[in-house]
Amino acid sequence: MDDYPFLEIFWTMFVFFLWIIWLIILFRIFADIFRSHDLGGWGKAGWTLLVIVLPFLGVFVYILARGSGMAERELERERRIALKTYTRHLAAESASPNHADALATLADLKNHHEITEEEYQRAKEQVLAT
């Protein structure tokens, strides 16, 4: 234990956790690159190549160039998942449909900006069709 003092243990843990954070950032950026619908194939290839060849510069440039859109795309993805989950829940309850409750829940989701107007109309049509 004399060969590895406490401060070096602390430093090693600090570097290890920074490495883990770096990997998380890289995976988030790769996921955002490949989930992005506004990038074409060459754009995705270019960003991927930049992040792989020059990781630090590529990540920082990507965050500067497309960072605000990352949050918007993630929010849109969560909205789609919530709408799918809710629609499946409605379909499962179709044995005893309660249209008023379903429409009230949809209106509440729309008022809290969790779903868009067109998602609301689509889900409303599904509820009324059952």
pLDDT band at 53 (very low <50, low <70, confident <90, very high): very high
More confident site: 19 or 100:
19
- Per-residue pLDDT at 95 exceeds 70: no
Domain definitions of the chain by residue range: 6-129
Q: Which residues of 35-70 are buried (b: 16+ CB within 10 A; e: fewer)?
A: ebeebeeeeeeebeebbeeeeeebbeebeeebeeeb
Query: Residue 120: what pLDDT?
Result: 86
> What is the C-alpha separation between 86 and 119, in angstroms, rounded?
12
Average pLDDT, the chain: 86
